[in-house]
Amino acid sequence: MEQFIAAQTKTNESLSASINLLTSKFDAMITHQKAMGTQIAQQVCHLSRSQEHLPSQPETNSRGHVNAISTMRGGLNESLVMVF
């Protein structure tokens, strides 16, 4: 009977340590999730404010000199042209 009680005590201590480790990891995940929620809310607020106003200076075309694309299908040049 004493061996059974000793084995159960050891098992209980091991389970308690595992539960404490999982609890600390879960608490860290909750903290991280709250921080991410705050960052997302800040981004949404920033984006909604930036869409209310036009830029004071025009933005340059990052594509440079490319202004149109033509397509070819089956070796035939079609007249479809997309202008950006």
pLDDT digits (tens, 9 = 90+) for 20-74: 999 999 999 999 999 999 999 888 887 776 666 666 666 666 656 555 656 666 6
**How many domains in the chain?**
1
In a domain, 12, yes or no: yes
Q: Which domain holds residue 1?
A: 1-52
In a domain, 83, yes or no: no
> Is pTM beyond 0.85 here?
no
Residues 80 and 71 sit within 8 Å (Cβ to Cβ): yes
In a domain, 80, yes or no: no
73 in the Ramachandran plot: left (φ > 0), alpha (ψ -120 to 50) or beta? beta
Distance of CA 77 to the CA centre of its chain: 42
In a domain, 58, yes or no: no
In a domain, 76, yes or no: no
In a domain, 45, yes or no: yes
In a domain, 6, yes or no: yes
CA angle 44, 50, 56 (to 5 degrees): 170
